Amino acid sequence: MLRLWRATINSGRGLRFAFRSERAFREEVAALLLGIPLALLIGTTPMRRLELVAVILMLLVIELLNTAIEKLSDRLTRENDPQIAAVKDMGSAAVGIMMVIAGLVWAFAVAERLGIV
């Protein structure tokens, strides 16, 4: 039980750090806060509503991982290292791909709500 408590404390610290230090994370939290009520309006079923919120949460998870990669890479060296640059670019690409996935899920849900699909 103590391990679970400590993990919860560490998670909270990580979320606070990301929120304070990363503009992209703050923007994605804003998208989540806006997305929750919109999901209730747009989703045609409880499962669709859950999916709409889940894709935003998945985006936050990937953004956290990308931020961790960037912070660790910057801690290793500030010099221009092509391999570190490639790793950072891959993290950024993961965020970009998740944004596309989230956009497609939301677009499908809107089309479904409008009776297009």
Q: In the chain, helix, strand, coil percent, each to 5?
A: 90, 0, 10
63 is annotated as an active-site residue: yes
Largest CA distance in the chain: 54
Pick the catalytic residue: 22, 51, 63, 112? Answer: 63
d(CA 64, CA 72): 12
Q: Residue 44 gets which letter from DSSP?
A: S
Give the integer Cα–Cα distance in Å for 104 and 99: 9
Rg value, the chain, Cα: 17
Report the length, in residues, of the chain.
117
Q: Which residues are catalytic?
A: 63
